[in-house]
Each structure stands twice: as structure tokens, then as C-alpha cells.
Amino acid sequence: AQSVAQPEDQVNVAEGNPLTVKCTYSVSGNPYLFWYVQYPNRGLQFLLKYITGDNLVKGSYGFEAEFNKSQTSFHLKKPSALVSDSALYFCAVRDLISGGYNKLIFGAGTRLAVHP
């Protein structure tokens, strides 16, 4: 079965420092990977995705992610964190095994706290 793991419940970083939010996955075949961000009492906002191509994917709000097939990881990064980046971040993989093309499997989420 396909799965996604976000090993950190919370990540704390000082404003201006680089940030990394970790994600590892387990899939059969080529993965479709996504990162979403959620602010309190809001839906999920799309940040970036990897389907094919360059391993370094650039997304919204200065975020990027690196796809590493050998380590089955898709870590989210940003060179310089902002206090406004504080939110809940979800990594997701598209599930193909179940036969449905449009089902996402989400990690448990990582809360990012950026301190002034």
C-alpha cells in the first residue's frame, strides 16, 4: 500500500533561517507527490508538486522541494523563513493501487513555527 510519513510533528525555526520539513513515501511505480499548507480554519493551499522531470521543484511563496528517488524522500525547503510561514504542512502522494486516479494519501502533517 502507498504511504507517506512526516517524521516531525513540529519544526521550529528562527525567522530568516532556512527551513526543511521532511517527507518520505512508499509507492509502487513512479510517485506523484504534493505539498500543501493549511492555515487555521482554512482549506489546503497547494504549494508544489512533483510528477516527472527535474528533481528540484519550485513552488509558491518561495518554497521548493527536492525529490530523491533513492531515499524515497520529498523534503520541503525554503531558504529564508518568514513568521507568516507558520502553519500546518502536509505531504501527499497520489494513490494508484486502489484503482482510483484521484485519491491522495496524506502524511500526518508537520506544524511549522517560525519565531521572530
Partner 1 sequence: KAGVTQTPRYLIKTRGQQVTLSCSPISGHRSVSWYQQTPGQGLQFLFEYFSETQRNKGNFPGRFSGRQFSNSRSEMNVSTLELGDSALYLCASSLAGEGYTFGSGTRLTVV
Residues in contact with partner 1 by the rule CB under 8 A: 32, 34, 36, 41-46, 49, 51, 90, 94-95, 98-109
CA–CA separation, 53 and 96 (whole Å): 19
Q: Which is nearer to partner 1, 57 or 81 (CB)?
A: 57
Q: Which is nearer to partner 1, 82 or 96 (CB)?
A: 96
For the CB of residue 91, give the shortest distance to partner 1 in the complex, in Å: 11
CB 68 within 8 Å of CB 74:
yes
For the CB of residue 106, give the shortest distance to partner 1 in the complex, in Å: 4
Q: 84, 80, 45: which is closest to 63 by C-alpha?
A: 80
Q: Which is nearer to partner 1, 9 or 116 (CB)?
A: 9
For the CB of residue 105, give the shortest distance to partner 1 in the complex, in Å: 7
For the CB of residue 12, give the shortest distance to partner 1 in the complex, in Å: 20
Q: Which is nearer to partner 1, 14 or 113 (CB)?
A: 113
CA–CA separation, 19 and 22 (whole Å): 10
| Beta strands 24-26 and 3-5, pairing class | antiparallel
CA–CA separation, 72 and 26 (whole Å): 7
